[in-house]
Amino acid sequence: MIILDGKNLSAKIKDEVKADASSYKKTPLLAVILVGEDEASKIYINNKRKACEYVGMSFLLIHFNDGTSEDKIVKKIKSLNKDESINGIIVQLPLPKQYNKDRLLNTISPEKDVDGLGNYSQARLLSGNPNFVPCTALGILEIFDYYKINLEGKNVCVVGRSNLVGKPTMLMCLKRNATCTICHSKTKNLSDYTKNADILIVCTGKKHLIDESMIKKDAIIIDVGITKEDGVLYGDVNPNVDNKCSYKTPVPGGVGPMTVCMLLKNTMIAYKRQNGIKDEE
Amino acid sequence: MIILDGKNLSAKIKDEVKADASSYKKTPLLAVILVGEDEASKIYINNKRKACEYVGMSFLLIHFNDGTSEDKIVKKIKSLNKDESINGIIVQLPLPKQYNKDRLLNTISPEKDVDGLGNYSQARLLSGNPNFVPCTALGILEIFDYYKINLEGKNVCVVGRSNLVGKPTMLMCLKRNATCTICHSKTKNLSDYTKNADILIVCTGKKHLIDESMIKKDAIIIDVGITKEDGVLYGDVNPNVDNKCSYKTPVPGGVGPMTVCMLLKNTMIAYKRQNGIKDEE
């Protein structure tokens, strides 16, 4: 079994982004909107900040107290849209309940929507002609690219149908000509689907949902889920698959580090588009 | 085998829309933009006009010559958006090649986007909280409703991944808690997927692609495709499935008549929303 090493790959990509970013005069800038005091959000934001610092991007945190009027946040996002020094804007989720997530996400201009969660990006994703691809889905594609895993004609099963991960990942695999199945909590006989998958992508957040009996021999396993118990991190896939699968992303060190890294990559893409720089790819 | 009779059901729904529309003082109005002289488009538009007349809706055709500037069409759509007498707007597809389809579709205001093809509607469709559902997908759901076919936990296989039919239909089945597989021209061993489907939805436009050997016993078959040869219409499904499946939409007289009918239904929904009328459903 070959480990799909997201930690290593993300370090490699970060170094590439760093070299790329340092080749321009103006520094790329990512702005993050945080509303309230969610502790997990603060940890995620801190990781994003550190990643930006590492690659030489500027990072701007705009922190609003829970209770700030939504109009005030909208006004701020609009001013960030107009500010030419800012290349990417994200609203850290989840928001406190009283805020209209859709309104805030859709205030971000499509050119700066580096999380890919606004309507414009979502519609383009669905149409098969993406603007910015949501970061976890994009991170999974990067893993496929790096390890030369071709999806065409493959049976890809995605377990989990979230708007943030499951659906975007399924659509991107479909775009790469995989035959895609999407399973979820209401699926009956889950293993009937997972057992047939050449590539199994699991994003449910249910610890060890998938075990060795549920996978095909030599399957490629992408484990997106993370559950923390007593300080230990568990994925959605039981380690007893290790002798049966051909490739697997570990937890931690698989998809997780790729996600933050893709935010940098999307911000770099935004920067280049905004500055009329052609990408070599 | 029970025939899923779209002709009959669409007539029934049209009568309901007619009764509904006649209960209000103001007449609902659907505006259709046609650019150029595509003959098939003219036939489709004529069907839409007749359906509107039947249910007592007004129908406004705005016909631009191929060669009209795109800006002029955009300006017209914007004036239709503002016009309170107009409830639904569609741009008849396909457009002549030089026009930017996305630009025209996205000029239609989301409140009047009764084909559900603008970014706002597409993003809402993807998120599982639809605005206007594209008409063919909606027509298929109406068939399921009328014949009391519950999708929850069912294995639904959609063959065909078009933005107009395959993807919206898959997403709506997913929303109804089916486990969904989407197959397409790059799928290997198509019958491995179709044979396991409780509900098989075929929208490829390939005459008799699916035959009896490729379906599960007692499957429910939705045949969306239409191919015309020597004046005869053929579906994507070979009639030799008839003794094996439990339900089937015929071609013609299945999904086809439902599609136009759903355009009326969406226009009625738009009318009610715009006039602050609550729907009983």
**pLDDT average, residue stretch B10-22:** 97
* Gap between the Cα atoms of B53 and B51, Å rounded: 5
Q: Does B191 touch chain A (CB under 8 A)?
A: no
pLDDT of residue A31: 98
Is residue B274 less than 8 Å (CB to CB) from chain A? no
Does the structure show a pLDDT above 60 at B10?
yes
Which residues in chain B have their CB less than 8 angstroms from residue A123's CB? 118-120, 122-123, 126
Facing A174 at nearest CB: one of B123, B174, B182: B182
Mean pLDDT of B178-185: 98
Task: Centre a 10 Å sphere on the Cβ of residue B245 and count the other Cβ atoms it contains.
Answer: 19
Quickly list H helices, chain A: 6-22, 39-55, 70-82, 101-107, 119-127, 135-146, 166-175, 190-194, 255-274
CB A116 within 8 A of CB A93: no
Instruction: List the structure tokens of B126.
Output: 């993807």
Between chains, do B122 and A120 touch, taking CB under 8 Å as contact?
no
CA distances from A124 to A233, B56, B116 (A): 34, 36, 14
Catalytic residue, chosen from A5, A20, A76, A92, is A92
Over residues B22-40, the mean pLDDT reads 96
Contacts of A183 in chain B (CB under 8 A): 179
Mark whether B115 is an active-site residue. yes
Q: What angle do CA B144, B147, B153 make, to 5 degrees?
A: 50
Structure tokens at A55: 């690659």
Judge: B123–A119 Cβ closer than 8 Å, yes or no. Answer: yes
Please provide the average confidence, as pLDDT, over all residues in chain B: 97
- Give the count of beta carbons closer than 10 Å to the beta carbon of residue B218: 11
Q: Which of A117, A163, A186 to mutate to test the interface with B (most CBs of B within 10 A)?
A: A186
Q: Can you list the residues of chain A whose pLDDT is less than 70?
A: 280-281
**Which of B245, B240, B243, B200 shows the shortest CA–CA distance to B224?**
B200
Options A5, A20, A113, A115, the catalytic residue: A115
Return the number of other C-beta atoms located less than 10 Å from residue B40's C-beta.
9
pLDDT for A271: 98
pLDDT at A279: 73
Looking at the partner chain, which of A119, A163, A179 has a beta carbon nearest the beta carbon of B181?
A: A179
Q: For CA atoms A150, A156, A158, A161, give the dihedral sign.
A: positive
ipTM entry? 0.96
How far is it, in rounded angstroms, from Cα B1 to Cα B267? 34
Subunit contact A179:B183, Cβ cutoff 8 A:
yes
Q: Is B178 within 8 Å of B155 (Cβ atoms)?
A: yes
* Residue B278 confidence class, pLDDT cut points 50, 70, 90: confident
Q: Which residues of B touch A153 (CB under 8 A)?
A: 186-188
Domain B25-109 identical in fold to domain B135-257: yes
Q: Is the pLDDT of residue B281 over 60?
A: no
For residue A174, list chain B residues with Cβ-Cβ distance below 8 A: 161, 182, 184
pLDDT single digits (tens) B96-112: 999 999 999 999 999 99
Asked whether the beta carbons of residue A153 and residue B187 sit closer than 8 angstroms, the reply is: yes
To 10 degrees, what angle do helices B119-127 and A119-127 make?
Answer: 80
The predicted model gives B45-52 an average pLDDT of 97
Q: What is the DSSP letter of B6?
A: H
Beta-carbon separation of B177 and A184 below 8 A: yes
**What per-residue confidence (pLDDT) applies to B71?**
98
Which strand ranges, in their side-by-side order, compose the sheet holding A247-248? A2-3, A247-248, A220-223, A199-202, A155-159, A179-183, B179-183, B155-159, B199-202, B220-223, B247-248, B2-3
Distance between CA B211 and CA A269 in Å, rounded? 47
Other beta carbons within 10 angstroms of residue B22's beta carbon come to 10
Classify residue A212 as exposed, middle or buried by CB count within 10 Å of its CB (0-12, 13-18, 19+): middle
SS3 at position B272: helix
pLDDT of residue A278: 86
In the structure encoding, which two tokens stand for residue B199, read together?
A: 């509900």
Strands (DSSP E) contained in B207-276 are: 220-223, 227-229, 232-234, 247-248
Q: From the list A118, A127, A192, which residue is nearest B122 (CB)?
A: A127
Q: Whole-prediction pTM value?
A: 0.97
Helix, strand, coil content of chain B in percent (nearest 5): 40, 15, 40
pLDDT given for residue A281 in this prediction: 53
- Give the residue from chain A lying closest to B171, CA to CA: A167
What is the mean predicted confidence (pLDDT) over B9-19?
Answer: 98
Q: How many distinct helices (H) and strands (E) make up chain A?
A: 9, 11
Name the residue with tokens 């002709």.
B7
Q: Which residue of B has its CA nearest to A153?
A: B187
User: Mean pLDDT across the stretch B110-137?
Assistant: 98
Q: Does B150 touch chain A (CB under 8 A)?
A: no
At A48-62, the pLDDT tens digits run 999 999 999 999 999
Question: Distance of CA B16 to CAs B10, B13, B278, Å?
Answer: 10, 5, 16
The pLDDT of residue B280:
59
Alpha carbons B218 and B141: distance in angstroms, whole number: 19
Integer Cα distance of A51 and B26 in angstroms? 59
B195 noted as active-site residue: no
In angstroms, what separates the C-alpha of A12 from chain B's closest C-alpha? 32
Catalytic residue, chosen from B5, B76, B92, B265, is: B92
CB contact under 8 A, B153 and A187: yes
Question: What letter does residue B71 receive in the DSSP assignment?
Answer: H
Q: Which CATH superfamily is domain A135-255 in?
A: NAD(P)-binding Rossmann-like Domain (3.40.50.720)
Strand partners, B234: B227
CA distance A91 to A116: 11
- Cis peptide bond upstream of B252, omega within 30: yes
Helices (H), chain B: 6-22, 39-55, 70-82, 101-107, 119-127, 135-146, 166-175, 190-194, 255-274
* Residues shown for chain B: 281
Count interface pairs A-B at CB distance under 8 A. 77
- Between chains, do A180 and B182 touch, taking CB under 8 Å as contact? yes
Of A119, A161, A196, the CB nearest to B120: A119
Residue B153 distance to chain A (closest CA, Å): 5
- The dihedral built from the CA positions of residue B180, B183, B188 and B192, taken in this order, carries a sign that is positive
Supply B198's token pair: 């409780």
CATH code for residues B25-109: 3.40.50.10860
Q: Indicate yes or no: CB of A179 within 8 angstroms of CB of B193.
A: yes
* Residue spans per domain, chain A: 25-109, 135-255
Q: Please, what CATH class does the domain formed by B135-257 belong to?
A: alpha beta
What integer pLDDT is reported at residue B209 of this predicted model? 98
Q: In terms of pLDDT, which residue wins out, A279 or B30?
A: B30
Q: What pLDDT digit, counting tens, does each position of B209-242 carry?
A: 999 999 999 999 999 999 999 999 999 999 999 9
Query: Quick check: is A92 catalytic?
Result: yes
Q: Is A103 on the interface with B (CB under 8 A)?
A: no
